Chain A
Amino acid sequence: MNKGVWSKQKVILVSGALLLAIIFPLVAPYVALASEILIFALFAMAFDLTLGYAGMLSFGHAAFFGLGAYTAGIILKNLYPSVPLALLGGVIASSLAGFIIGFLTVRRRGIYFTMVTLAFAQMFYFIAFKWTSLTGGDDGLQRVPRPSLGPLDLKSQIVFYYFLLFSVIICAIVLLRIVNSPFGKTLQAQRENRNRAMSIGYNVDRFKLRAFILSAFFSGLAGGFYTLLLNFVPLNSLHWTNSGEVVVMTITGGMGTLFGPMLGAVCIILLRDIISNFTESWTFIMGILFMAAVLGFRGGIIGILRNKLKLSI
């Protein structure tokens, strides 16, 4: 991807996607669904930083998402009802957790890394599950207010959607800058050939740790938004199956592309919403779809777009 000049096709695609995002809440079945899609798109992009760019399969990102969500919720409910403060608290908590978990795990490679991140995330789940006085336990953190942000009345779903859209676009630009920076290139270099990157003189583990923390940061932000959207934090946001979902979104979309995971999140959440209208057993159908996706197409949605439609994204 060149920094300076964008191809004509790319300009059309990006502006088309933007336009779609702007009119989406008007055509979506309900506005909250559109907002949920944006939140998970952000979560999936954040996750792609570790999986797609740093090449580490974490199964513990629910911890960062959930921690961001819970911290934001607790601040809004018990401390002071301010959106920026809540989001800030959320990202600080998740980044800190990212640092601690990352510090303990980045040197582990491959499957070991996956298992250890998963186990650590589960620890947060159990803490939230048992610390009922603070988190509401199994019922989740109920009745979290969603205060206004200056002149923006976030209580209106549609205003909240555009606030979210604006924030997610900023995050996407920042993430794009990160992956195209020398830092991002180094991450990709060590993903492709760890020994070579080390022999050039890069401290590979330090780069991976930074990527992990950045990813935790954006995941926590997505979590904070999630709290604002639902006015409630479900305990499930911390559960490891939530980590599994973001892995699935990233891979269905096409990892290592940032836009792919975004598309994956859009498709999966839309699909889930549609299927759950028809049948209670949507998990069953989603499971079959995941399996079929793995058996069938592996380049992800972005791979299909690239190969079949010859798009340069």
Chain B
Amino acid sequence: MNIQFVVMQLFNGLILGSIYVILSLGLTIIFGMLGIINFAHGAFYMFGAFVAYTIVAYLIPNFWVALIVGPIAMAVFGAACEAFLLRRLYNLPPLYVMLFTFGLMLVLQDFIRMVFGAAGVPFKTPTSLDGSINLGFMFYPKYRIFLIVITSICSLGVWLFLSKTKLGAIIRAGTDNSTMVDALGINISRIFTFVFGMGIGLAGLAGVLAAPLQNVSHLMGVDFLVDCFVVVVVGGMGSISGSIVGGLIVGEIIAFGVMVWPPMAHTLIYIFMAAFLLIRPRGLFGREAFHE
């Protein structure tokens, strides 16, 4: 095993980790605010990739347009789902909302299968980001470097937004006690819609960004979602910094696993999670008695 391969894998782990980060951020803010696991999150991620594919392949053959329009379209779609469907379920135990998102996941996936087929479709790397870049000690694909940059910007953006703006403060307050925020004269249901839309927008963004790395298929989100659960459990539920750190850890563990024993790469994160839960039952930054 030469050092170049190791560095390359560490970079790949960073890429995978940054996709996890974007997806888990959405998962965790929705969880924090609504107290539910969004089982459709992986399906929204997949949907985002297909929105991008549709834009690039049929409408405007430009990746950058897809990168902007895709997440926004997904955010609007997510907000609509919240406003018209999920909202009716908030007076029920969270169980029912989760079941609803489970149904939504099946519907979204099968819809894409009907439209695009079960085999999936190839997604080309945008021409401007094609090829590799010389980092001095190794060559690395340009697109992957771009991914690291853009996901860092996004994570920082989300973190700044939630911790420094007024709306972010309201969202954080709503995470702690939404009834109280409502009583203080803030329209909490609008905030709910916003948060859900934002989470789905992030999932859509992750989908668009991940699309050039692989063939896009209707099942690309199913197992990926569970990896994100590991991220959220390791990072601590509802914690923004937990998602970021947890995502990078999980990404690197998989990359490390690929170096050591490829078939076990994925299993490794679950073993890690089990061990981690024994040491820190609430994850890295999880709070006590939070939605428990």
Q: Do A and B come from one complex?
A: yes
Which residues of chain A (225-257) have a CB below 8 Å from chain B? 240-241, 244, 247-248, 251
Q: Complex formed: what's the CA distance from A112 to B289 in Å?
A: 11
Kindly identify which residue among A107, A127, A244, A247 contacts B267, using a CB–CB cutoff of 8 Å. A127
Flag if B31 contacts A111 (CB, 8 Å).
yes
Interface membership of B35, Cβ < 8 A: yes
How far is it, in angstroms, between the C-alpha of A286 and the C-alpha of B103 when the chains are bound? 8
| Max count, chain A CB within 10 A of own CB: residue among B96, B102, B264 | B102
Chain B residues bordering chain A, tally (CB within 8 A): 49
Near A by CB (< 8 A), chain B positions 98-112 give 98-100, 102-107, 109-111
Assuming A110-B291, A122-B226, is B89 touching A294 (CB within 8 A)? yes
**Cβ contact of A283, chosen from B35, B37, B106, B282, cutoff 8 A:** B106
B166 within 8 A of A: no
Contact across chains for A286 and B106 when beta carbons are under 8 A apart: yes
Rounded to whole Å, the gap between the CB of A113 and the closest CB of chain B is: 9
Question: Does any Cβ of A come within 8 Å of B92's Cβ?
Answer: yes
Inter-chain CA distance A247–B95, complex, in Å, is: 10
State whether A287 touches B104 (Cβ < 8 A): yes
SS class, residues of chain A in contact with chain B: helix
Stretch at the interface among B49-57, B241-249, B269-277: B269-277
Interfacial chain B residues near A110, Cβ < 8 Å: 94, 291-292
Within B204-237, the residues touching A (CB, 8 Å) are: 222-223, 226, 229-230, 232-233, 237
| Chain B CB within 8 A of A116 CB | yes
Cross-chain contact A291 with B104 (CB below 8 angstroms): yes
* Alpha-carbon distance A127/B265, docked complex (angstroms): 10
A290 CA / B96 CA spacing, docked (Å): 10
B135 within 8 A of A: no
Contact B223 A284 (CB under 8 A): no
Specify which chain A residues have a CB less than 8 angstroms from the CB of B264 in the assembled complex: 130
> Chain B interface mostly helix, strand, loop or mixed?
helix
B103 touches A291 (CB 8 A): yes
Q: A196 interface residue, CB < 8 Å from B?
A: no
Interface size class for chain A? Answer: 35 or more
18 pairs across A/B with beta carbons < 8 Å? A105-B277, A110-B292, A111-B35, A114-B98, A115-B37, A115-B233, A115-B237, A119-B226, A122-B226, A122-B270, A123-B271, A126-B267, A126-B270, A248-B103, A287-B104, A290-B106, A294-B97, A295-B100
Measuring CB to CB, which residues of chain B are less than 8 angstroms from any residue of chain A?
31, 35-37, 39, 85, 88-89, 92, 94-100, 102-107, 109-111, 113-114, 222-223, 226, 229-230, 232-233, 237, 263-264, 266-267, 270-271, 273-274, 277-278, 281-282, 291-292
For the complex of A and B, 7 pairs with smallest distance between CB atoms: A287-B106, A290-B103, A123-B270, A287-B107, A284-B110, A130-B263, A291-B103
Known A115-B229, A284-B106; 19 more pairs at CB < 8 Å: A57-B95, A110-B94, A118-B229, A119-B226, A119-B229, A120-B270, A248-B99, A283-B109, A284-B107, A284-B110, A284-B111, A287-B104, A288-B107, A290-B99, A290-B103, A291-B85, A294-B96, A294-B99, A295-B100
